[in-house]
Amino acid sequence: MPAPVRPLVMGVLNVTPDSFSDGGRYAATDAAVAHGLRLVADGADLVDIGGESTRPGATRPLVSEELDRVVPVIRELVDAGAVVSVDTMRSEVAAAAVAAGARVVNDVSGGLADPRVLDVVADSAATYVAMHWRAHADRMVDLATYDEPGGVVAAVRRELGQRVEAVLAAGVPADRLVLDPGLGFAKRGAHNWELLRHLADVAVLGLPLLVGASRKSFLGDLLADDGTSRPVADREVAGHALSVLVAGQGAWGVRVHDVRGTRDALAVWERLGMPRTTVPVPPGPPVAGPDRP
């Protein structure tokens, strides 16, 4: 399958009461399914369904709570023809999600929180997204230190490289593996910007990259009014700009809340035929979507 001209657009669907951007809006199954279908109608190539908030300081739900939140939504969206990703760190949830039809397991811990998730993926046909991660939400801010030579970029590249070795050793083939630099996870604002400037230095690991910057606090801080961070809902334009910029750096996908606005921005980039500037990487696992056979 040839490399897509534009990055895949992964639409965010939080089915949690406490997510930083839209906590509680889609906690009910009917509301979540309706929003997922809107994301698809707006042009999402896949819908990423998460039942655990990973905002700084968040506490973890019980496994049974996470299962109850995500599995019914996955089933209904898959039955409606959507391509679904599950955003989870737990092997039990990954297994249930794949059984319900999810085609991607998006693990923000890269297998560190629950190594058994790698076995679940290896035994399935699912694509695996391994993100750079150091600790759960209640501790990650304390670990946002990057004092080694090369700073955050070198650390993320090295630590993601270790996760690649673990994922491959578990039996997940390289052609079903995607990496995520983990913007905002054990990283302060300056770290996020440094990573975005140097995505090519992460891409040298030779795997496709997913970038998730949508609505995050470092964008709010950039746009601060009188020292007050811009509200979450008013960060979308900055996020669209970043989607275009990382498209130019060869990103495989972007994880966003505003799918329609992102698709509009990427349509302009695509129409201009702007070249990609990062080091060559594989096109990534083929994921069908509304306009991808």
In the sheet with 127-131, reading across from the earlier edge strand, the strands are 177-180, 127-131, 104-107, 84-87, 46-50, 8-14, 253-256, 210-211
Q: Where does residue 224 rank: exposed (0-12), middle (13-18), buried (19+ CB within 10 A)?
A: exposed
Q: Can you say how many angstroms the Cα of residue 130 is from the centroid of all Cα atoms in its chain?
A: 9
- Determine which one of 255, 263, 271, 276 is catalytic: 255
- Supply the DSSP symbol for 143: G
Phi, psi dihedral angles at 13 (to 5 degrees): -130, 100
Helix (H, G, I), strand (E, B) or coil at 120: helix
Is 255 annotated in the active site?
Answer: yes
- The answer to whether residues 138 and 87 touch, using CB atoms and an 8 Å cutoff, is no
Place of tokens 């693990």: 107
- Determine which one of 187, 216, 235, 263 is catalytic: 216
Is 292 annotated in the active site?
Answer: no
Measured distance CA(43)–CA(25) in Å, rounded: 21
Active-site positions read: 216, 255
